Structure 1
Amino acid sequence: MLADSWRLAVGTLTAVPVRPPTTVDRRRAALAMVLAPLAVLPIGLLVAAVGLAGHGLDLPSLVTALLAIGAAVLGNRAFHLDGLSDTVDGLAASYDRERSLEVMKSGTSGPAGVVATVLVIGLQAAAVASLLSASWRGAVVAGAVVCLSRAALAACCMRGVPSAREDGLGATYTQTVPVFVCRLVWLVTGIVLAALAVWIGLPWWRGAVAALVALAAVIVLIARANRRFGGVTGDVFGASIELALAAMLVALA
């Protein structure tokens, strides 16, 4: 089961080619979501490598940060940004549930989705630039935060959070992660962020705050999706990851 869950997580969340899992069920889906921060380690290492290279070449911090964020986007085939854009378009489209879900499923990006994407990427890049300008360690922290932001998936898939659709990506994963496991994932995320904060010369509580702010952003998004869509979708998963990443980076910047 572990091998199937690992392949499912890597294949879903990264562009790394892996063999498909032999079986996909809700138990394996739950474990895949819990393993998400580890499964995207290749993307985190890529972001850190770009940051270190830019620092070594003495590139402007903002240029390096944009390249690092671009590497993260390429690492997941822009899957999560597409989810962010579709989710915001759905929220902006109409108060009618079916109309909103139809807009999200269309795959096109409207003005609201484009603005949200630019704003979130801008926040992420600006925060990474701030980390890079302080020390080379900022590059490593940025890569680690990319991985930790995937803890958002445990919240999206927590039991009690319904799926907005009976089909689609979200239906396979929703309500699979036990509440105590979700809490444990976020507790570990907070501890790691606190350690990273100390490593780059910040007080430990800055890392804890980063985790709390990110979790709050994800909870607000999930609550909004529940009210407007009747639950979460695969697009909401992607949006939650991008929001969590932006929140963590800004809190540490």
Structure 2
Amino acid sequence: MKDSFDDPLLTPPPERASFLDGVRFAFGTLTVLPARITRWDRPAARTGMACAPLAGLVVGLLATVPGVLLLVLGGGPLLAAAVTVAVPAALTRGLHLDGLADTADGLGSAKPAEDALRIMKQSDIGPFGVVTLVIMMLVQVAALSDVYADSWIRGALAAVTAAVTARLAMTLASRQGVPPARPEGLGAAVAGVVPRAAAAAIAALTVVLAAAAALPLGLPEAALHAAAVLAALLAAELLLRRCVRRFDGVTGDVFGALAEVAATTALIVLALG
């Protein structure tokens, strides 16, 4: 098995792409929003995966629009939550959800890494994937509905926080030392491209900004949002380590699973608050 986090060969590229190239990489890879990818190489992936939370910010803001509008028009929090959760799925063509289902099938197969990866690559979804998808979507809608029931402001802020944190989990999964499970695909393109220090700095900045955004609602709310981001990153890290051990590395499906687990965990923490 590969040494998951200390392989000296898994180092970020010394070259750097421009910020604009990175933004295009992030939006063109992680969303369906119009963004012409100008570079598809490891330097562009390095900048692009560092910009992943920015793509999450845009996705989260777009997701809040129909949810808040439904509340203003008299709809209930459950309806608003369901529509809000549906928007990120549409803006990614369901790729993150598909990745979650495939990862669940691979982990649940109890087969060797090579066979598990073959299962994940198949176009159909197995029983583990179906059950995981249903539970995850129900939990997301239920948690966000609880937050929307408090106020539309808390609900909108929760949706944005979850979307940003989901992509932040991808940034951390792209850090130096995390190996790809296959020699091709998105996992191979972005594995190990972000320096550890840069990944840590982006994570810390996101925690601070999440708390600052919630500060107008009070200090307890700011602390809650910081805790939600940290809890989500912890859950994603545990899943990442499990997948690296199980599959000998990461794949594009694993990145999708990390995003959904992080978003769900953040929403649960915010609902409990």
1:240 counterpart = 2:240: no
RMSD: 1.5
Tell me the alpha carbon deviations over residues 203-237 of structure 1, each in whole angstroms, 9 at most, x when there is no partner: 43212221221111111111111111001111000
Tell me the alpha carbon deviations over residues 113-152 of structure 1, each in whole angstroms, 9 at most, x when there is no partner: 1111111111111111111111120243134221232101
- Decide which of 43, 51, 54 is 1:38's aligned counterpart: 54
State the alpha-carbon separation in 2 of the partners of residues 203 and 136 from structure 1.
14
- Decide which of 55, 58, 66 is 2:82's aligned counterpart: 66
* TM-superposed deviation, 1:200: 3.7
One-letter identity of the residue aligned with 2:43:
R
What residue number does 1:154 align with? 171
What residue number does 1:181 align with? 198
One-letter identity of the residue aligned with 2:68:
L
- Decide which of 211, 219, 224 is 2:237's aligned counterpart: 219
Q: Which runs of 4+ in 1 moved over 4 A?
A: none
CA contact (8 A) 1:197 1:252 kept: no
State the alpha-carbon separation in 2 of the partners of residues 53 and 62 from structure 1.
13
Task: Tell me how many residue pairs correspond in the alignment.
Answer: 252
CA contact (8 A) 2:165 2:232 kept: no
State the alpha-carbon separation in 2 of the partners of residues 40 and 213 from structure 1.
17
What residue number does 1:172 align with? 189
* TM-superposed deviation, 1:38: 1.1
Query: For 1:58, what is the secondary structure of its paired residue?
Result: coil
Using the size of structure 1 for normalisation, the TM-score is 0.94
State the alpha-carbon separation in 1 of the partners of residues 171 and 69 from structure 2.
32
Query: For 1:194, what is the secondary structure of its paired residue?
Result: helix
- Structure 2 residues without counterparts, runs of 5 or longer: 1-17
State the alpha-carbon separation in 1 of the partners of residues 80 and 49 from structure 2.
30
* TM-superposed deviation, 1:53: 0.5
Residue identity (%): 38
- 1:60-99 pair list within 5 angstroms: 60-99=76-115
CA contact (8 A) 2:143 2:268 kept: yes
1:125 counterpart = 2:141: yes
State the alpha-carbon separation in 1 of the partners of residues 195 and 35 from structure 2.
27
Tell me the alpha carbon deviations over residues 163-205 of structure 1, each in whole angstroms, 9 at most, x when there is no partner: 1111111001000011111111111121122234433444432
State the alpha-carbon separation in 2 of the partners of residues 105 and 17 from structure 1.
27
What residue number does 1:252 align with? 270
CA contact (8 A) 1:155 1:218 kept: no
Query: For 1:20, what is the secondary structure of its paired residue?
Result: coil
- Structure 1 residues without counterparts, runs of 5 or longer: none
What residue number does 2:44 align with? 28
One-letter identity of the residue aligned with 1:124:
Q
One-letter identity of the residue aligned with 1:175:
G
Tell me the alpha carbon deviations over residues 55-87 of structure 1, each in whole angstroms, 9 at most, x when there is no partner: 101211111100111111101110100000000
State the alpha-carbon separation in 1 of the partners of residues 237 and 40 from structure 2.
27
Using the size of structure 2 for normalisation, the TM-score is 0.88
